[in-house]
Structure 1
């Protein structure tokens, strides 16, 4: 079941509530560790999140009819204990590249991330738990956005452990 909230006329969805200590949670993490050949929950979650960000990257080619199509490419890393670093690279058709690095301190945050996929437009966004603004923007794929929000929720919860 997916929760739907309305904000500014666009549906905002949260990944299905997850019991982080449940058998389902343990199974999810075990499958990721097996997939990414690691014994670390954090490494598996980072690899999975970055893989999803690569798979669902919003590329200029998907933005048909847009006046200024751009590639949005993200990479996540852990900067310090309890700090998620988000590297955003935006490439324009004119060859220009803008890189922005942001850090998200996860302590005290609600780890259940919300995402939205407006009916119009080429993108979905996973929203920041700090201010509700887009944390990352990906190709419009509700299932992909849901899986990314789930992986990031697990990653934030993992980082909150220190």
Structure 2
């Protein structure tokens, strides 16, 4: 049973998490869920909602490493409209390599690449200057109006002195409330350790992740080790994705820098979505503060 949330967290979940979330608990096969997310992204594109489309595609990317060619067309189109021309070109070229020559989407993809070249974008038109990862920022590191309202609401609820501190408190409350629980009351030899997470930032563009690994030996004795890792926000795609698994009975949030597993909580897709949303907003804020 999950720990009861304190008032600010509960209020945030009611008012900020309660709308706009996908249907959960359907247990669709990975391939079907990927197709569902691509369809949702396509619908968002039709309504010119490019940021929602990107979020659907990011979730599809987190689900599967074997993505259909349609993914690359949609992702390239979204990135084109978000003015991320290098990444758009990469995805569109990957689509074109596998698309039917002369098809409607094939021609559309070629049109996007031509438009990118005319705007001076794309890898082949850029001067060979070195990028400094310490100062480079993604164009997506801008809070849109809905994200600004979201951050404002969290800051007011937590009565924090800054937006980044409010987001950190919210994320850490969620990580604590949905921390992994022992799989069984009886301790078995070789039982995998539980890990507790806590985030902070150092004021220099780094998110620090403190991981406390708790290894049970018997009913009363455990071994605890703490490690800290650093995630630099400069130049990274701020969108944090997640994946939940019934096999592990947990949800993993993926590192925005490597795509590898970053934070693990008990299986609760709504909670994972909220932590991902708050983490994305936090990264964008830290990127903005470092400008």
- Indicate conservation of the 8 Å contact 2:141/2:238, yes or no: no
Matched, 1:71 2:161: no
Q: Provide the TM-score with structure 1 as the length reference.
A: 0.84
CA RMSD of aligned residues (A): 2.3
Structure with higher helix content:
2
Q: Report the counterpart of residue 263 of structure 2 in structure 1.
A: 136
Q: Report the counterpart of residue 80 of structure 1 in structure 2.
A: 203
Q: Distance in 2 between matches of 1:19 and 1:133?
A: 21
Which deviations, in whole Å up to 9, do the C-alpha atoms of 1:68-126 show, x marking residues without a partner? 14331111111232100000001111211121100111101100011000232221100
Q: Secondary structure at the match of 1:59?
A: coil
Q: Report the counterpart of residue 213 of structure 2 in structure 1.
A: 90
Structure with greater Cα Rg: 2
The 1:21–1:75 alpha-carbon spacing in structure 2 relative to 1, beyond 3 Å, is closer
Give unpaired runs (5+ residues) of structure 1: 10-17
Give unpaired runs (5+ residues) of structure 2: 1-21, 23-36, 38-55, 67-139
Q: Distance in 2 between matches of 1:79 and 1:68?
A: 34
- How many residues end up aligned between the 2 structures? 152
- Indicate conservation of the 8 Å contact 2:181/2:266, yes or no: yes
Higher relative contact order (CA closer than 8 Å, sequence separation 6+)? 1
Q: Secondary structure at the match of 2:274?
A: helix
Q: Distance in 1 between matches of 2:242 and 2:260?
A: 10
Q: Secondary structure at the match of 1:135?
A: strand
